[in-house]
Amino acid sequence: SIAFVTAAGARLGGLILAANAILLNLLHLVAFALDGLAHAAEALVGKAIGAKDRHAMQRAVRLTLRWSLWFAIGFSVLFFLTGPIFVRVLTDIPEVIDTTLRYLPWMIAAPVIAFWAYLYDGVFVGATRAKEMRNIMVLSTFLIFVPAWFVFRFLGNHGLWLAFMFFMASRGIGMYYYYRRRVLPGIPLQA
């Protein structure tokens, strides 16, 4: 999906490609921070599963989900307040700055849309459900992201970012649904 955003952005022109590279760097900053919480979820979920303790698993997921949400909101506020500064640190080319700022609202929205997907990556790894995580990623790519891009292509780069947001949301929703229906019920309740 990141490669697709890059390739599709390149087809939209050099300025869009440059702007998207900057936006993807901001997204990577968010992803690295939220992956720290996903790693914590991975360890806590693995420990709870090893102990066969569903309540501990639920607590771990709720706790890391809450922290992930707060971090996501924090990044959204940070990008809202200081996004132009981040952009100007990453480039001094006026045309690239102007183009990037036109699409900066997507980076303001991205953390609160994507945090579910990042966190549940950790939950699924901790629950040794990497195959299911991969399957949800593939389904989200081909059933959501690619069709959404073709539907919203007329919007140009905004359509590309909209499709990407649908992709990230569908990953989070898909993993949440699978976690609630398949992973959690498989863990015994402790007395």
Give the domain ranges of the chain. Answer: 2-186
Q: What is the rounded average pLDDT of the residues 89-109?
A: 98
Residue 94 CB contacts under 8 Å (≥ 6 apart), including other chains: none
| Buried/exposed code over 37-51 (b: 16+ C-beta within 10 A; e: otherwise) | bbebbbebbbebbee
pLDDT band at 185 (very low <50, low <70, confident <90, very high): confident
Give the tens place of pLDDT for each residue, 168-180: 999 999 999 999 9
- Predicted pLDDT of residue 183: 84
Give the tens place of pLDDT for each residue, 119-135: 999 999 999 999 999 99
pTM for the predicted model, two decimal places: 0.92
Give the tens place of pLDDT for each residue, 139-169: 999 999 999 999 999 999 999 999 999 999 9
In the structure encoding, which two tokens stand for residue 182, read together?
């398949």
Q: How far is CA 105 from CA 78, 90, 130, in A?
A: 12, 17, 32
